[in-house]
Amino acid sequence: MDIQTLANEIPVEGEYALEGVDFISSGEQYLTFSLGLEQYAVNILAVEEIRSWEQPTHIPNAPMFVKGVINMRGVIVPIIDLRLKFGIGEAKYDKTTVVVVLTAQHLTKSRTMGFVVDAVSDVLNAQENDIKPAPAFGGSLAQHYIEGIVNVAENVVTLLDVTALQTIEKQSDNY
Amino acid sequence: MSIDLSQFIPTFLEECFEGIELMEASLLNLEQGDEETINSIFRAAHSIKGGAGTFGFNHVTEFTHLVETLLDEMRDGRRNIAHKDIEILLDSVDCMRLLIEAIRDDCSYDDSKVIVTSQLLTATLNNNSIDENIVEDTTKDNENTSNAIADDNLTHWSISFIPEHHLVQTGNDPLLLLNALAELGKVSVTANCNSIPSLVDLDATELYISWQITLITAAKKEDIAEIFEWVEDDCQLVISNEESIDKKPAEINLDIANEADELITEKPTIEAKTKVKPNVTNDSSLQKPKAESGSIRVGVDKVDSLINLVGELVITQSMLSELGNDFELSKVARLNSGLEQLLQNTKELQESVMRIRMLPISFAFNRFPRLIHDLSKKMGKEIELLISGEQTELDKSVMEQISDPLVHLVRNAVDHGIEATDVRITNGKPEKGTVSLDAYHQGGSIVIEIKDDGGGIDSNVILAKAIENGLVDESTSLSESQVYDLLFEPGFSTAKTLSDISGRGVGMDVVKRNIQSLGGRIQIESTLGVGSTFKVFLPLTLAILDGQLVKVGREVYIIPLITIVESLQTQEALINRTSGDMVLYRLREDNVPVIPIYKLFNIPAQNKAIKNSLLVVVEADGQKVGLMVDDLLAQQQVVVKSLNENYQQVEGVSGATILGDGSVAMILDVPSMINMALKLAKKQQQNNIVAEEVIH
């Protein structure tokens, strides 16, 4: 393939531009993903990488939603199945199942964890005033995980708080 | 051109700490007194002062300047090295450390100690012999004050102190004078600021304030005049006796009596401070926010050997890549030898890198001469400290965590171990007690010995105390070492009276826990009347351990090799089931409880029958258990990685490691697994009790 054909392959600006993404806007960007039929999003700056699913090493007596740990370039990273944690959808592992690895600050140190989701979909741009507080009644999801909700076309995307997601309740003694 | 100095500050601070340590160590040796030692102390102080000046830490510069001046006088032979001066200098070193630590941690410090010490330094400097006077004065004053209480002989002095404008330029600080007055009795001061000029005319180097002072004291006029001796020529001073208070209100009397008491107990001379000192070291060693030093000093030889090894590695790599460029089967032999070389190189590289983390244990031992010096003074016991094996190398992180438990053990040895001098003499022992510290390698671990030639541990006293505290039953018979182990039980203290040296702060249980968390253990040997030895066994490093890989179900676990007693295949005849589904395996004389890992960790296993299964017998805390596994795999060195970093502490697991194929394996924590098994059993027992109650 010569340089000319390569040059032709480069998309003209706007041609393939992601829907809903405005690269020069000042708002925050969020990575959206799906759990069952629902759409969620996390701040894109927290995303370390997106990996395909691999069987992790089991942690003894860990809660159901903690699937285990994997080796990510020499770092031990725990894997949490968000579908199990939130009780949404069905925890099945197939080709589209992905792990979103997120890093967030906890007081003085940062923590890296992988979260199993059904699929990642899009990057969403949300201005501060687009983000609405979630209604207090209804859903089974605990309020402290939710940063707010954003309307995208006809759908509603729930923004999640990464630090809250990474907080693990003390390991239970029930074994 | 301006250079950003802040990048050098960490280096400066490190040098300061080195300098301070050197000063402290040399000061302790100075008691014999030789020129070279004084010179080295002086040089250390001088470079700290210079550095602090460069970086603008003026308070450090000012303080160190005083120290330096005093040292300079000693160096030039203008001043005899008195015992008192050394104490003052030791205090100054403490203060300098306090100041530097405050800079490092960017936090505030307790400046009262610094002020007191700098006052003392100034006082010492102002007169070659003033130190004598101060002590005499204060003792005299105290006598006077105590006499005063007896004689009701307090006097109201009215002092008018109008300094010349240039007073401060002569190096005198009026505040110090006022403080000195306050030490004589009850002082009330009125400052007259009337002569302060407008800001335009104000010269910052001049002093415009004068003072009117009322002093209630038993001190004589000469004593008061003496305070002003150094400013006499630079001020107008009127000291007049207002009235002699013969009949004074009772409350004032009380007040003064209290104050006099304070004067006696807090005699602001050396004794007062030696009392403060051990507490300060206490606090700083126990409560200080742990600022793990982020850098280490490495010998050039270690770095050179690393560079050599990397050079070899590069050669091996280029050889292998050349081989891979056009590979054919005939070259397999060369490939194999190349790979072997690579293995050798990486192994050596790993060892060298580990060696960088190793520091001689003298880093931990260095604080003990000072500790012993202070302790022996405080306890009134003469103690000699013998240190050997200080070149033994230990992992830096182990060293950081072992230092506080060691301090506790040494304190214990001095406080509880060594007897009072008169007791020693009656027992026919040398008057001077000996505490010795030793470190050496033994097998794969490091042994640190803390030995004293004191009274030894009376196992009967411990047993009686333990029975009294309900730790053991009166009927149980315990071996000697089991009795000694009682010392490490929480809430156990045999100290008849709690002193502030030991019997406070961390207990022996914390010492044991700290040592265990490092993967070590502690052992006591003692002979009544002859002395005791505490032996601390520590692993060489925390970062790497030798492990036995085992398989349970689909999972691979690693059992630290150091805990393994033996591995065996069970024989049916030796399996016993007792007391409700507890399985014991007869291992020669012992009955070893069997813990199936799959049950403990709630995972599927291939083999659930105990018959003909593989048993890894491990030992922790003197308790042997058999861990049932599906398969024994290889033995290998593994690099320990923390689960805490991104997750949390997991019971039964001390960490994780990455195996050759890139997968993660858990490293088993044997003591914690035993705990889990105990909890599990307790839970079952409770369930049974509940079930029984339901039935009834």
In this structure, the number of other CB atoms found within 10 A of the CB of residue B300 comes to 7
Distances (CA, A) of A128 to A20, A118, A133, A148, B279: 15, 27, 11, 10, 54
Distances (CA, A) of A58 to A65, A92, A168, B561, B604: 11, 17, 16, 22, 11
Interface test with A, best of B597, B600, B646 (most A CBs within 10 A): B646
CA distance B618 to B592: 10
pLDDT at B251: 43
Query: Is residue B504 pLDDT above 60, yes or no?
Result: no
Provide CATH code, domain B134-268.
3.30.70.1110
| Residues of B whose CB is below 8 A from A78 | 643, 646-647
Give B215-262 pLDDT, tens digit per residue.
Answer: 777 777 777 777 777 777 777 777 777 654 444 444 444 444 444 444
Asked if residues B353 and B260 have their Cβ atoms less than 8 Å apart, the reply is no
Give B671-685 pLDDT, tens digit per residue.
Answer: 888 888 888 888 877
Query: Is residue B669 pLDDT above 70, yes or no?
Result: yes
Tell me what percent of the residues of chain B surpass a pLDDT of 70.
83
pLDDT band for B142, please (50, 70, 90 cuts): very low
Superfamily (CATH H level) for B360-539: Histidine kinase-like ATPase, C-terminal domain (3.30.565.10)
Closest by Cβ to B664, choosing from A66, A70, A112:
A70
Nearest-CA neighbor of A101 among A145, A44, A55?
A44
3-state DSSP assignment of residue B539: strand
- Tokens representing B598? 């799959």
- Residue B244's DSSP bridge partners are B155
pLDDT at A9: 61
3-state DSSP assignment of residue B162: strand
Contact B665/A at CB under 8 A: yes
Query: Is residue B332 pLDDT above 50, yes or no?
Result: yes
Say if the Cβ atoms of A77 and B646 lie within 8 Å: yes
pLDDT band for A26, please (50, 70, 90 cuts): low
Average pLDDT value over all residues in chain B: 76
Q: Break chain A into its structural domains and give their ranges.
A: 28-166
Q: Does domain B5-128 sit in CATH 1.20.120.160?
A: yes
Architecture of the structural domain at B544-692: Beta Barrel (2.40)
Nearest-CA neighbor of A64 among A75, A54, A51, A79?
A79
- Interior CA angle at B491 toward B485 and B493, to 5°? 70
CA distance B283 to B290: 12
Contact B219/A at CB under 8 A: no
Query: Is residue B278 pLDDT above 60, yes or no?
Result: no
Contact B639/A at CB under 8 A: no
pLDDT at B358: 81
Query: Is residue B19 pLDDT above 80, yes or no?
Result: yes
- Tokens representing B338? 């190349």
CA distance B52 to B654: 44
Give B433-451 pLDDT, tens digit per residue.
Answer: 888 999 888 766 788 999 9
pLDDT band for B516, please (50, 70, 90 cuts): confident
Give B455-470 pLDDT, tens digit per residue.
Answer: 888 888 878 877 877 7
pLDDT at B493: 59
CA distance B673 to B625: 10
Give B24-63 pLDDT, tens digit per residue.
Answer: 888 887 765 577 788 888 888 888 888 888 788 888 888 8
Asked if residues A76 and A90 have their Cβ atoms less than 8 Å apart, the reply is no
Q: Break chain B into its structural domains and give their ranges.
A: 5-128, 134-268, 300-356, 360-539, 544-692
Give B476-485 pLDDT, tens digit per residue.
Answer: 777 777 788 7
Superfamily (CATH H level) for A28-166: CheA-289, Domain 4 (2.40.50.180)
Strands B614-620 and B590-596: what pairing? unpaired
pLDDT at B270: 39
pLDDT at B115: 82
Chain A neighbours among B 231-260 (CB < 8 Å)?
none
Query: Is residue B282 pLDDT above 60, yes or no?
Result: no
Say if the Cβ atoms of B647 and A71 lie within 8 Å: no
CA distance B316 to chain A (A): 24
Contact A114/B at CB under 8 A: no
| Residues of B whose CB is below 8 A from A66 | 647
Closest by Cβ to A76, choosing from B554, B555, B641:
B641
Query: Is residue A143 pLDDT above 60, yes or no?
Result: yes
Asked if residues B500 and B279 have their Cβ atoms less than 8 Å apart, the reply is yes
Give A69-123 pLDDT, tens digit per residue.
Answer: 999 888 899 999 999 988 888 888 888 889 999 998 876 678 899 999 999 988 9
CA distance B114 to B92: 8
Specify the length of chain B in residues: 696
Query: Is residue B571 pLDDT above 80, yes or no?
Result: yes
Helix (H) or strand (E) holding B126: helix B111-126
Query: Is residue B495 pLDDT above 60, yes or no?
Result: no
In this structure, the number of other CB atoms found within 10 A of the CB of residue B52 comes to 24
pLDDT band for B366, please (50, 70, 90 cuts): confident
CA closest to A76 among chain B residues: B643
Closest by Cβ to A61, choosing from B641, B643, B651:
B651
CA closest to A77 among chain B residues: B646
Query: Is residue B630 pLDDT above 70, yes or no?
Result: yes
Say if the Cβ atoms of A57 and B665 lie within 8 Å: yes
| Residues of A whose CB is below 8 A from B642 | 76
Give B310-319 pLDDT, tens digit per residue.
Answer: 998 999 899 8
Give B380-430 pLDDT, tens digit per residue.
Answer: 888 888 888 888 888 888 888 888 888 888 888 888 888 888 888 888 888
Give B574-603 pLDDT, tens digit per residue.
Answer: 888 776 667 888 888 888 888 888 888 888
